Chains A and B, each alone.
Chain A
Amino acid sequence: MAIVLIRAVILYIVITFSLRLMGKRQLGELQPSELVVTILISNIAAIPVEDSSVPMIMGIVPILTLVCLDVIMSGIMLKSAKVRKLMIGSPRIIISEGDILQKEMKRLRYTVDDLTEAMREQQIFDITQIHYAIVETTGKINFLLKKDYQPAEKQDVQAGGSTDNPPSVIIRDGITDHEQLRLLGLGEQWLTKILRENNVGIKGVFLMIADRNGKHTIIKKAG
Chain B
Amino acid sequence: MNRIIISIVILVVMSVGCFISVGVVDSFAEKVLAKIDEVEKAYEEQDKEKSSKAAKELQDEWKDFTNMAILVNDLGHAVEITSSIAEVYSFAQELNEELYAACDRAQAQIEMFRDMQKPTLWKIL
Contacts and interface: CB of A to CB of B under 8 A. Distances in A.
A5 B47 CA distance: 49
B45 interface: no
A112 interface: no
Interface in B72-88: 72-76
Contact of B71 (A55, A64, A71): A55
Interface in A44-84: 52-55, 57, 61, 64-65, 67-69, 71-72, 75
Interface residues of B, number: 17
A21 interface: yes
B74 A71 contact: no
A55 B18 CA distance: 14
B20 to A, nearest CB: 13
B14 A65 contact: yes
Given A21-B3, A21-B6, A61-B18, A72 B11 contact: yes
Nearest to B79: A53
A72 B5 CA distance: 8
A23 interface: yes
Interface string A119-154: 000000000000000000000000000000000000
A64 B4 contact: no
A67 B7 contact: yes
A64 B8 CA distance: 11
A152 B100 CA distance: 91
Most chain A CB within a 10 A radius of its CB, from B8, B10, B18, B76: B10
B56 to A, nearest CB: 27
Interface in B43-70: 70
Nearest to A57: B71
Most chain A beta-carbon neighbours within 10 Å: one of B1, B4, B18, B74? B4
Interface of A: 21, 23, 52-55, 57, 61, 64-65, 67-69, 71-72, 75
29 contacts: A21-B3, A21-B6, A23-B3, A53-B74, A53-B76, A54-B74, A55-B70, A55-B71, A55-B72, A55-B74, A55-B75, A57-B71, A57-B72, A61-B18, A64-B10, A64-B14, A65-B11, A65-B14, A67-B7, A68-B10, A68-B14, A69-B7, A69-B11, A71-B6, A71-B7, A72-B4, A72-B11, A75-B1, A75-B4
